[in-house]
Structure formats: structure tokens, C-alpha cells
Structure 1
């Protein structure tokens, strides 16, 4: 039943008696719509679109088999606790619900939910901690919080999350990203080299109050092999990143034989407001007469536009604030002959006009790890090159 753009429609009849086999109900932009009867008895209903503007303030009773529920732009003030019974729900969209102040903790019971949209919910103050609890929202891939301007903190998030879109959350001060630290018992180094399906992107563009601890936590996650990309407002490379330099390039001696991954960082200063560009890193190493060259994708606007097909909108503009981009890259090629070589890294943008200036860059090589040695390295405050290289060698060397 498609009643989209029925601007004079005020209410609809009880559909369970006249259309018991209804599967889809579309009521988008029904400007005068005031109320909807209970839909709970529509046992075959799988998709409901109530996207506003409209005059609906209360969420109707929804059948348990619903898969897509769109309440964007409605005047609802809260979701009913009975939402926990929507065991088949895959997409829940609440964009522009400006009267919505909170979500029920029972939202953590939505075991099949993959996408949760909350952008421009201007009164939303908190996100329930239940969304990050073990076995809650175990399939959530995307969480969109763009322009939730009153949101001050984020709880722990589910480990399955792939894209956190939290740009322009101007009051956001803290975010727990403990899900990044899920360490597997299998220490297989192949995990560092493969393009993993569980790669995560945390987008905190223009979140001016966000604590830099988020950046430090992501950097620590890289050292554990977690494939995470972070964009957030800030002006410095993580403190514990081993090599850093002003500008867009740096060089150092690298233990090429044992390196398995890199953590990369750039600090960007836009020229005014520019669309966020793509970046890559040129990696060159020399040993004797041998010269190897490789390139890593640090970030691309296509990564966001097609992040597993979930986010397809235009990427937002950076403000005139400096931003930090932090990325993990596994090394696909293994080198068995050389050990210490001269390595050079140059960070490039694929934009030629109005491209942001790279103020600072950083590289942290991640070596094949012995847990005991890695723990010693984490505890050491020394930045000596010789000490750092000796700590990263395997125990058998």
C-alpha cells in the first residue's frame, strides 16, 4: 500500500481487518497525518515508512516480523519499550526526530539490527549502554549520529560495528571504543596482511570537544592488529607513535624482515572548507643496490561513499580546524633477505585544488610479536631507535 505524499490524509483505518496480508506500508510525507492505529496484527508486514514531515507523536504498535522501520522526521518523543520484541528488525531509521531525547535500553535486544540512523536528533542526550553489551546488537554494522548536537558521550560499542558516523557532534566529549581491543587467541600474522571484513571507520569530523584519548586508544588498537581508521579534530600525532615529522614525509631505519603492519597518521589543516580528499602513502626502502617501492591507501572518499554499501551520501566538508587521520595498513609482501634498511614514507593527496596542508605525519611499524616482548615495549618510555628495534625482534632471534 503506497500512500506517499498524500498531503490531506489525516488518519488511516484499522488495516488488520481490511488488508490482513499487507507486507509494505508507505506513508512518506503525509503532512496532515495525525495518528495510525495499531499495526500489531499485520503479521506479514515487513516494511513501514512513516518518514515525515507529519504530525505523528506516538509510535504505533508494530508487528514482531517488521524488518525495515523508518520514522524519520516524525514528532515521536520516545520509542516504546516493546521495541525489544522486533526480533527481525534490520534497519531502524530515526533521522531528524527532533523531539526524541533518549532510546530505551531494550534496544539492545534487537539481535538482527544492522543499521541504526539517528542523525539530526537534536535533543538526543544519551545512547544506552546496552548497545555495547555482550550479545546485544550483535549484527550492527552502521551507527549514524551526525549532528546530534547535545550528545556528550558514547558508551562501549558492539564489536561488529564497521562505520560510526558521528560528524558535527559539537558537544561530544568522550567515546568508548573498547570494541577495538578484542584480541584473538590466534596470533597468526596473516591477520595483519589481509584485507579484513571487520575493518572499522570512526568518523568524528568536526567534533571539536572530543577527548584526544580516542586517538590514543585507536593507536593502541593498531598495535594489537585492529584494522581501524579514525578521523577526528586535533592537531598532533599520537604521543607514542614511534616516528613523526613536520610536513608530509619522513625516513628512518626499518627492520624490514620482521615488519608486518604500519600505523599511519597525518595532521591536516584545510584551506578554508574543502571536501575531504583521499590519501595514499608511498613507501620506498633501499638496501645496497636494491630498491623496493610500494603504496598504501590511507583513506579514500570512496571508502566512505561505499563503506560496505551502507553509507552512500556525499562526504562532509572539513571545517577550518585541523584534523587527525589515523589508519592501519597490513604489509602484504614479506621480505626474507634484508633486515635493517633505509625506509622513506611520503603522504600524498589525490586532490590538486584546495587540498588540505599536511602539517605533520607519523609512522609506527608493527613487528611480528612476542607477547612478553610487546608488553616490555609498551611499558618502556624510551624512544631510542636501537632500543625500539631490539625490542621488536622475536624471542627466537
Structure 2
């Protein structure tokens, strides 16, 4: 039954007696609708759309077989008691429910829920810890929840969560540990955010011998997979966020983990081996066992910014041999899902990216390497850039061992460069 945008519709009759087999009920944009009867006896109803029915204050009782429930822009203050029985619910959308003050703890009963939308729920202060029981949840959207002060520790238990949107949650001061399955985190414009516990507990996919034995075709396929699987963390305009987030992401790069970070800040990570002012740098590079690079650029403030599509032009020379490679600092998936249009920034920003190398070199092979970072002219001038080579052996070492190795390798390369 489609009654969308029936402007003069004030109420509807008890549908269980006249339409007992009803499967879909669309009442979106019925701005005069003031109430709906109980729908619990509609045993075949799977979708209910009440978005922008702004005069509805009380949500009707819902049948347990419902799969999609959209209440965006309604005046509801709380969810009905029947919510705990909705074991088939896949999508629950409550965007712009500005009167909604809390979610019931029984929301943890929604075992099949995949998407939970709570954008602009301005009275929402907390999320119940029972949310950690939603083992099928893939998307949690909370942008512009201006009074949301915290997230529960149990959010780390969301073993299928791929997207988390916390944009402009202005009262958030810290983020708890997040699930390792998370692919896209949008926490930009969280101006009070001071700390974020970023964990990257990923399994190693290849052992050392398997990597060495890959064919060129397999390496190309692995390179494509790396680009697709890259995780993206957007902390732009979070001016109070401490730099431990940057250090944690750089540490993840050393372990071979594919993470891209955008955050407010004006420095290249301290442990990044090669740094330079401007947008280019050169150094002598050992290609033996090289598997990836960690790249960094620092950008000036700007009044007009799109998500950057930076590329890195990499040229290496050895004798008469000269090769050229290009890297994108953002994967296509990141741009497709998170290009939110232009916005302004009054602070410098740092972009940190991991990029895998297609070709593998097993013999000692020193070359002259040159890197040039190229932007699409929508971001301001590059103030500083950095490159850190990542080697296969680094993935097998502890943090302390890697740190010691970094220092020794730095000294060795400095000697070679001096010669």
C-alpha cells in the first residue's frame, strides 16, 4: 500500500481487518498524519515507512516479522516496547528524530540488524552497551548527534561493523577501542575529540615464503586487493586530537596493514625515515625485500577543500635502468564512499597512506629513488612530505625490534648516502 505524500491524510483505519496480507506500507511525507493503529496483527508486513510524518509522536506496535523500519523525521520520543521482538529487522532508520532521548537496552535483541541510522538525533546522549550484541551490524551512522557524549566500550564487539559515521558529534571527547573489521570511520568535525583508541588486530595473510614465490600476475592481483581492502580514518578538523592516533597508524603500516589517515596536524610522523619540505624528495633506496611504502603529506589550511586525490610519482634509477611507478594515496572505494563535497579548514592537515609494491626484489639492489606528490589542485600547497620504506622482515618483528632495526638501518643508509 503506497500512500506516500498524502498531504491531507490524518489517520488510517485498523488494517488488520481490511488488509490482513499487507506486506508493504508506505506513508512517507504524510505531514498531517497524527496516529497509526497497532500493526502487530499484520503478520506478513515486512516494510513500514513513516519518514517525515512529523506529527506522529508515538510509534505504533510493530509485528515481529518486519525487516525495514523507517521513522526518520518523526516526533517519536521513544521506541515501542515491541522493538525487542523484532528478530527479523535488518534496517532501522531514525534520522532527524529530534525528540528521541534514548535507545532501549532491548535494542540488543535485534540480532539480524545490519544498519542503524541515527543522524541528527540531537537529544541522544548515550548509546546502550547492549549494542555490542548486534553481531550482524555493518553500518552505524550517528552524524550531527550534537549531545552524544560517549560511545560504549562494547562497540568493539561489533564483529561485522564496516562503516561508522560520527561526523560533527561535537561533545565526543574520546573514542573507545573499535572493531578491527572497521573499514571506514568518519569522525571529522568532532571538535572536542582528544583521544581515539585505534586498534588494528589483523591476521597476517601471507608468510614470508609465499610472498617470495608469487608470480607477477599474483602480485598484481594482491596489489589490487590491497587497494580495495584499505581502511580509511577521517579525523579532519579534529583540532584537539592527540598525535598518538598518527603514531598508531604508522605502527600499523610497519606491520603491513593497509590504513589511510586524514587528520588535523602539521607534522610528519617522527619515525618516518625520509622527510622534506615541499612536495618531493630523493634518497638511495634498498629494493631488497621491499614490499610497501608509508607516505605522508602535510597540507596548508584552506577555505575550500575537496577530498584529495593525491598521486605519488615514483622513479628509480640504477645504472642505465630507469623505472616509473604511480601510487594513489586514496583507494577508489574511499573516494566513492566518502567524497562529501567541499568544506573549509582553518588548520593544517596530515594525510598518511599505505601503498603496497607490485614487484618483489630478493637480491641486494640499491637505486636512486625520487618521489613527487601530485595533487588535483583542490587542496592547498603541500608543506612537507615523507616516505618510509617497509620491508618484508619488518612484519615479523616486535615493536622494540623494529624500532632498533629502524635506527640501525637509518645509520647504514646515511653512511651509504655520504659515500
Shared fold per TM-score greater than 0.5: yes
Contact conserved, 1:261 with 1:331, CA < 8 A, in 2? Answer: yes
Partners of 2:386 and 2:184 in 1: CA distance: 24
> Over residues 332-378 of structure 1, what are the superposed CA-to-partner deviations in whole Å (9 max), with x where a residue is unaligned?
12245661111000000123xx5310000000000120645974341
Partners of 1:229 and 1:318 in 2: CA distance: 21
Q: TM-score with structure 2 length normalisation? A: 0.84
Partners of 2:335 and 2:382 in 1: CA distance: 23
Larger radius of gyration: 2
Q: Structure 1: which 5+ residue stretches go unaligned?
A: 391-397
Query: Aligned Cα RMSD in Å?
Result: 2.2
Aligned residues: 375
1:29 aligns to 2:29 (yes or no):
no
1:114 aligns to 2:115 (yes or no):
no
How many angstroms does 1:76 deviate by?
Answer: 1.1
SS of the residue corresponding to residue 359 of structure 1 reads strand
Contact conserved, 2:187 with 2:236, CA < 8 A, in 1? Answer: yes
SS of the residue corresponding to residue 345 of structure 2 reads coil
Query: CA separation of 1:318/1:272 partners in 2, compared to 1, >3 Å: closer, same or farther?
Result: closer
Query: CA separation of 1:181/1:315 partners in 2, compared to 1, >3 Å: closer, same or farther?
Result: farther
Contact conserved, 2:302 with 2:345, CA < 8 A, in 1? Answer: no
Partners of 1:208 and 1:374 in 2: CA distance: 28
Counterpart pick for 1:94 among 105, 115, 118: 118
Q: Return structure 1 stretches of 4+ with deviation > 6 angstroms.
A: none
2:404 corresponds in structure 1 to 379
How many angstroms does 1:305 deviate by?
Answer: 4.0
How many angstroms does 1:59 deviate by?
Answer: 1.3
Higher helix share: 2
Q: TM-score with structure 1 length normalisation? A: 0.89
Partners of 1:343 and 1:305 in 2: CA distance: 28
Q: Structure 2: which 5+ residue stretches go unaligned?
A: 1-24, 212-218
Partners of 1:36 and 1:45 in 2: CA distance: 14
Contact conserved, 2:125 with 2:148, CA < 8 A, in 1? Answer: yes
Aligned counterparts, 1:148-227, within 5 A: 148-178=169-199, 180-184=200-204, 186-188=206-208, 190=211, 193=223, 195-196=225-226, 197-227=228-258
Contact conserved, 2:302 with 2:344, CA < 8 A, in 1? Answer: no
Contact conserved, 1:181 with 1:221, CA < 8 A, in 2? Answer: no
Contact conserved, 1:273 with 1:320, CA < 8 A, in 2? Answer: no
Partners of 2:204 and 2:263 in 1: CA distance: 27
Partners of 1:275 and 1:103 in 2: CA distance: 31
> Over residues 22-78 of structure 1, what are the superposed CA-to-partner deviations in whole Å (9 max), with x where a residue is unaligned?
111000101111112321xx13210000000x3210112321111000011112111
Partners of 2:364 and 2:305 in 1: CA distance: 42
How many angstroms does 1:159 deviate by?
Answer: 0.7
1:239 corresponds in structure 2 to 270
